Amino acid sequence: MPFFDFLCEKCGHRFVKRVSNAEKDRVECPECGHPKVKQMLSPFFTPGSHYGPTPSIPDSCAGCGQAGSG
Ligand SMILES: [Zn+2]
């Protein structure tokens, strides 16, 4: 069965659930139990890969090292 990415329409909780094509219409939020969840389309949809809800933001240090002003 494939994994599907869902977003709760009530609390905004995002989760991944492995359901069949018929079951994905009957998924409820594991956080608040709300029966209405929106199916997301993940571009990073790769089986067997680690799921990361937050993308890795490059830590840029443009204005670092400015200490003791004035
Ligand atoms: Zn919810």
Question: Minimal CA–CA distance to 23: which of 41, 13, 37?
Answer: 37
Cβ distance 1 to 45 under 8 Å? no
Strand 37-40 to strand 14-18: parallel, antiparallel, or no bridges (unpaired)? unpaired
**Higher-scoring residue by pLDDT: 18, 21:** 18
Where are the domains positioned within the chain? 3-40
Residue-wise pLDDT tens digits, 19-68: 888 888 899 999 999 999 999 876 555 555 555 555 555 666 666 666 66
Q: Quick one: pLDDT at residue 66? A: 61
Q: How far does the centroid of ligand 1 lie from the alpha carbon of residue 11, in Å?
A: 4
Ligand 1 centroid, distance to 37 Cα (angstroms): 8
Higher pLDDT among residues 1 and 65, named by residue:
1
